[in-house]
Amino acid sequence: MPPTITSASWIMILFLGLAWGGAFPVIEIALEGITPFWLAAYRIGFATLLTVGTWGALGWKLFERPLHAGERRNLLAVGLMSSAVPFMLISWGQQYVTAGFTGVAMASVALIVLPLAHFLVPDERITPRKTLGFLIGFAGIVVLLGPDALVPVGGRIELAGQLACLGAAACYAVSSILMRRLPTVDPIGLSAVLLAIGAVAVIPAALLKEGLPPPIDTRTLLALAFLGLVPTAAANLLRVMVIRTAGPVFMSLTNYQVPVWAVLIGVVFLGEPLRASLLVATVLILIGVALSQWGALSRLFRARAKS
């Protein structure tokens, strides 16, 4: 069945871009009342409860056949790299960088996928256009890490926090490649299982690193609930709907929204500085992503124009 793009598809894409871009400013708020690993644990815990409940209501469908040992290891790796590890890295990193920085860093996921897919995915070879896009986007990452990119929390540049956020983007890129190696699967069931794997990993890590969960106030609890329910659980379920109806290429349009929303919300509501170097990095990374995805996007909109 060919992708069908409707006005509802555009509304869902706009919501996803806002939800994911808005998550990073909310993380800034939550970090005022909770430690980073427990932030990740609460976030993934709330999301797991909602997603597993939805999965159960739909009949617990998952794989069409039992997985062999290699596929089970791959499933475990995807669970760790798609939620557990990046959630902890982002929560820890945002102690030292702004929400805008993190949002721009997430736009690099599509760039990191390029060299990985070239070696690991058949028929995903790097072309001259994709190479140019990668180089331009990489230049944006270099600018992003430059000394004037932002003024982070605490009043000093913290390279470790910057690298943690970029490391989270790399985790998302790796997990997207590994996910392509899984057999036919129910997407909602897969989301539930991956989140459950992440929860099993993050909660013990939080206990070992930070001890028992600290007491939290109402404002922090609301921020944690929002992070778990909206940009994690609800957005993942909505992502499934978009991919099923409008296709994965249309879904990739969220790549262009997330950094813009993260920067705007951070500046307007959190008073974060808007540095020229952050804007330059955003433009370079988005140009790189656009060039790398130009062929697929142009085919998508040509097909849309004909319909």
d(CA 89, CA 99): 13
Structure confidence at residue 63 (pLDDT): 79
- pLDDT attached to residue 306: 64
Task: Concatenate the DSSP letters of all residues of 170-225 into one string.
Answer: HHHHHHHHHHTTS-SB-HHHHHHHHHHHHHHHHHHHHHHHH-SPPP--HHHHHHHH
Helix (H, G, I), strand (E, B) or coil at 272: coil
Distance CA 281, CA 138 (A): 9
What is the rounded distance in angstroms from the CA atom of residue 233 to the CA atom of residue 118?
31
**Cα–Cα distances in angstroms (integers) from residue 86 to residues 135, 149, 291, in the given order:** 24, 22, 26
**Average pLDDT in the 298-306 region?**
68
Tens of pLDDT along 210-225?
999 999 999 999 999 9
CA-nearest of 242, 252, 246, 233 to 290 is 252
The arithmetic mean of pLDDT across residues 108-134, rounded, is 84
Contact (Cβ atoms closer than 8 angstroms) between residue 177 and residue 117: yes
CA atoms lying within 13 Å on the CB side of residue 229: 7
pLDDT tens for residues 159-193? 889 899 999 999 999 998 888 788 878 888 989 99
User: Is the separation of the CB atoms in 103 and 21 below 8 Å?
Assistant: yes
Q: What is the pLDDT of residue 87?
A: 97
CA–CA dist 149, 147 (Å, integer): 6
Instruction: Please state, rounded to an integer, the average pLDDT across all residues of the chain.
Output: 88
Tokens of 244: 């099923």
Residue 56 bridge partners (DSSP): none
pLDDT of residue 307: 61
Predicted structure pTM score: 0.90
* Domain spans of the chain, in order of start: 7-306
Other C-beta atoms closer than 10 Å to the C-beta of 267 total 17
Cβ atoms of 226 and 50 closer than 8 Å = no
Mean pLDDT in residue range 251-267: 90
Residues 104, 259 contacting (CB under 8 angstroms): yes
Binned at pLDDT 50, 70 and 90, residue 295 comes out as: confident
